[in-house]
Amino acid sequence: MKRLLPVIALATACNVASADQLTAVSFGGAYGAAQQKHMLDPFMEETGHKILFENYSGGIAEIKAQVESGNILWDVIDVEVIDLERACSEGLLEVIDHDSLPPGDDGTPAAKDFSEAALANECGVGNIVWTVLYAFNNDTIKGGQPSSIADLFDTKKYPGKRALRKRPQVNLEWALIADGVPKEQVYEVLETDEGQARAFAKLATIADDIVWFDSWSQAPQLLNDGGAVMVQSANGRIFDAIQSEGKPFEMVWDAHLYDLDVWAIVKGTKKKDLAMEFIRFATGSKPLSGMPEVAYGPTRNSSYAYVDKAVIPKLPSSHLDEGLKASGDFWADYGESLGEKFNEWLLK
């Protein structure tokens, strides 16, 4: 028995530790590192709880599989708003009590401190504003500096390959805008068969000059190795390439499609309270203010007090007027049918 005691003690200790262990899931890369540094590490230090940090590539397939099988492996997840709407209304996420969020460091109550979109959905709390824009390489671009979405579609004036992510999202919106549809009417037009045909027709005008890629990590690489002279990219990737690697890239903010990432809780997790505690902490003014390190804008106004003034103009939140909010509703409606049409179009 004496020999067994330490074993038992160890086993109980493990049990206690695992009871306070949380699994958080996000997108990895520089963004994940920033979250680790500004949200997870301080939280673990302050509370003594342990957080396992895992990566995924978005979408709701894995969440759906976990909830349907009742085998919940993830507790807290970073979700794109485009998926949030769908996951929430399918009952895959817990409802979050927004009233329990702490006020900003300057005392502003949470409801006023957060941007409106950050608390628009009952299942999530806004984390960052990020955006999809296009960038060009100063060394390889010919014909001057492009400045608008129309320039992206102008292969005569700016010859060379354009790298776009292989999916209908963003590309169809940009095609319509380049074809002269006002930003605020884009989704209205894209709902109609004629509007969809028009978008594909516009895309077809540059089809021979498009290089398609699958993941955001390829975007800066294509721009760097000469695979393309302009690339569509998540803004953080380009910012990182300019900032930390000194690449001669330049971002074009015209008609960028911005969206939010939110923290949410997977339905049915046994650690809901701890998950909620983490979200309250992670969406506080200070942790959020670390996100601009990777060029994503914090969703709390009070966070900007901590942000380097030189960085602020490079955040999507400073360019909202030029941009367009990606519509989660629209893509929940037409994501699948346009996805099929897009693949059909690619096969032609």
Partner 1 sequence: MNNNSLSVEEILESKRLLNRKKRLLLLFTLPLLVFIFITFISPIATMLYRSVYHPTVSQLIPLSLAELKNWDEAGDALPPSAALQQFAIELQDLSKQRLSGKLAEEVNRLKPGSSSLIKSSARKLKKTTLEELQENGDSVLLSYSKKWHNIDLWRAVKRAGQPFTDSYYLTTFDLKRNPAGEIEQRDTQIYLKLYWKSLKIAIYITLLTALLAYPLAYYLATAPSKIANRLMVLVLLPFWTSLLVRTTSWIAILQTNGVLNSSLQSLGLIDEPFELLYTQAATIIAMTHILLPFMILPLYSVMKNIDPSYLRAALSLGARPIPAFIKIYLPMTVPGVSAGALLVFIISIGYYITPAIVGGTDGQMISNIIAFHMQSSNNWELAAALGSLLLALIIALYWIYDRLVGVNNIKLG
- Name the site residues for partner 1 (rule: CB under 8 A): 59-61, 64, 85-86, 88-91, 95, 161, 166-167, 191, 210-214, 225-227, 329-330, 332-341, 343-344, 346-347
The Cβ of residue 221 has, within 10 Å, a number of other Cβ atoms equal to 15
Locate tokens 């960085």: which residue? 311
CA distance 187 to 39: 35
* In the complex, least distance from residue 346 CB atom to partner 1, rounded to whole angstroms: 5
Collapsing DSSP states into helix, strand and coil, what is residue 205? coil
Task: Report the residue number, 78 or 254, with the smaller CB distance to partner 1.
Answer: 78
Q: Comparing C-alpha atoms, which of 180, 213, 212 is closest to residue 199?
A: 180
Closest separation in Å from C-beta 69 to partner 1 = 12
User: 133, exposed or middle or buried, with CB in 10 Å at 0-12, 13-18, 19+?
Assistant: buried
Considering the complex, state which of residue 143 and residue 339 has its C-beta at the smaller distance from partner 1: 339
* Residue of 146, 110, 140 lying closest to 125 (CA atoms): 110
Q: How far is the CB of 88 from partner 1 (least distance, A)?
A: 7
Closer to partner 1 by CB, 191 or 245: give it.
191
Asked if residue 318 lies in contact with residue 239, where contact means CB atoms within 8 angstroms, the answer is no
- Pick between residue 232 and residue 303 the one whose CB is nearest to partner 1: 232
Residue type, 170: V
- Report the SS3 class of residue 320: coil
Least distance (Å) between residue 320 CB and partner 1? 23
Which of 130, 200 has the CB closer to partner 1? 200
User: Closest CB to partner 1 among 143 and 335?
Assistant: 335
Shortest distance (Å) from residue 228 CB to partner 1 = 8
Q: How far is the CB of 267 from partner 1 (least distance, A)?
A: 9
Asked if residue 83 lies in contact with residue 77, where contact means CB atoms within 8 angstroms, the answer is no
**Which residues are paired to 137 by β-bridges?**
249
For residue 296, give the nearest of 21, 32, 4, 19 by alpha carbon.
32
Dist CA 162 CA 155 (whole Å): 9
Residue number, 42 or 58, with CB nearest to partner 1: 58
Smallest distance, partner 1 to C-beta of residue 115, A: 21
How many other β-carbons are positioned within 10 Å of the β-carbon of residue 52? 13
Alpha helices in the chain (DSSP H): 4-19, 29-35, 41-47, 61-69, 81-89, 110-113, 149-152, 171-178, 186-190, 193-204, 218-225, 235-245, 272-282, 285-288, 328-347
Closest CB 348 distance from partner 1, rounded Å: 9
To the nearest whole angstrom, how small is the minimum distance from the Cβ of residue 66 to partner 1?
14
Q: Which is nearer to partner 1, 222 or 275 (CB)?
A: 222
Residue 27 or 239: the one with the smaller Cβ distance to partner 1 is 27
Rounded CA separation 131/145 (Å): 21
Q: Which is nearer to partner 1, 207 or 305 (CB)?
A: 207
Minimum CB separation of residue 78 from partner 1 in Å reads 17
Q: How far is CA 53 from CA 5, 61, 131, 239, 250, in A?
A: 33, 19, 24, 24, 32
